[in-house]
Every structure is written in structure tokens, then in C-alpha cells.
Amino acid sequence: EAQVTQNPRYLITVTGKKLTVTCSQNMNHEYMSWYRQDPGLGLRQIYYSMNVEVTDKGDVPEGYKVSRKEKRNFPLILESPSPNQTSLYFCASSTQPGQGAGELFFGEGSRLTVL
Amino acid sequence: GQNIDQPTEMTATEGAIVQINCTYQTSGFNGLFWYQQHAGEAPTFLSYNVLDGLEEKGRFSSFLSRSKGYSYLLLKELQMKDSASYLCAVSDSNYQLIWGAGTKLIIKP
């Protein structure tokens, strides 16, 4: 089954404790992206990757890191989480982002709470 | 700046028709997407418009007017399961998606 898998789905952590949210896709997509979703603000892009070893900042990259060492994996790293990073996070992948065949496939989401 | 506007919330009755509008101002245009998102779930793709006109897909249709910077999603024969948020997103000149905040659609029996 074609899917994007994120882990963990739910996490409560404390300020400053490094954490990683993993994302893996099995559709051989070149493009992957991380979003955060907060009430009233919609989806905001954190980082994206057009291909292996290529990553770029989105609209809200501060406090986050990513890596793309393999095509299928795109982990999101919070080196020192803060309460303002409490949010719902989505990983997504696509063949041709922003184009006709470029619909995004989203993971199920990771709800993160930073105390 | 780039901006996508859509109503925050709409209410409609089961079996009726509802139109969700989206207006946009972006740097370039390479298409407009509609996604559906049920509460607590991931967004799922509904439609893509790049040329002016109406695209019909079952009970859902999407319309685009590039000259007006305007799109709408039309949902017919509403069902309770259509209760969800509907997200409008525009692909800009760099093929980056600019997202609206979403419209929460409430269906009443």
C-alpha cells in the first residue's frame, strides 16, 4: 500500500529535550516536505527536499533541522524544543510538487506537545 | 505578499449544495489545489485546476478564474461525511504551494 509513515504519532516532551520525528514514504517520490498546522493558521511549510541531499527552508524553519540521506526518509529534528513548537506536524511527499500530477500524499500526522 | 483567502467556517444542510470560495494573490500561478481534511486526520487531494473553467468529479466540482484570482469548490448532495475542513492551495511561480487557512464545513441533518 502506498503510504507516508510518521512516528511518533503523539509525543509529550519537555523544553530542551532533543527529539526526532521520522517520516518514510514507499512511493519513490523525489519530493518530501514537512508542515506544521496550528488552529487558524493553516499549513505552514517548515522544510522541503527536492531530492536526496537537497533540502531547503520553508516558511517557518527556525528551531528545526532536516536531513535527506535516502530517498524514502526525511526526518524532522527539534534540537531544543520549545513550547511554541507545540503543534500538529505533517510529512508529505509528491512526484511533481505544485504541478498537475503533483498531489501531495500526507502522513497521518504527529501531535507534539512541548511542556 | 502572497495571500490565500477562504471563509473560516460554513454550515450547510444534508442533501443540499454548498460552494466554498477561495481568492488568491500570488507570485505567479501554476495551478490551484483543493484538499479535504477530516478532524484529526491528514489532508487528502480533491482536485487540481490550472485552466479556467469547471472540473467535475462526482459530487465535487472545482472552478477556476485566473483573471479574477478566484476558485470555488462545489459540493452537491451533501452527506454527513462531508463535514471536514477544505483547504485551498496555490502553486506559485516556483511550484511552491501557498496554503489558505482552510474552511471548516459543518453539515447539519
**Most A-contacting residue of B51, B97, B103 (CB-CB within 10 A), to test interface:** B97
pLDDT of residue A96: 79
Q: What is the pLDDT of residues B34-79, one digit of tens each?
A: 999 999 899 999 999 999 999 999 999 999 999 999 999 999 999 9
DSSP summary character for residue A15: T
Q: What is the pLDDT of residues A49-69, one digit of tens each?
A: 999 999 999 999 999 999 999
> What's at A3, amino acid-wise?
Q
Nearest-Cα distance to chain B for A79, in Å, is: 25
Q: What is the pLDDT of residues B5-44, one digit of tens each?
A: 999 999 999 999 999 999 999 989 999 999 999 998 999 9
Nearest-Cα distance to chain B for A107, in Å, is: 6
For residues B74-90, give the mean pLDDT. Answer: 97
Q: Which residues of chain A have pLDDT under 70?
A: 100-101
In whole angstroms, give the CA distance from residue B27 to residue A20: 34
pLDDT of residue A80: 96
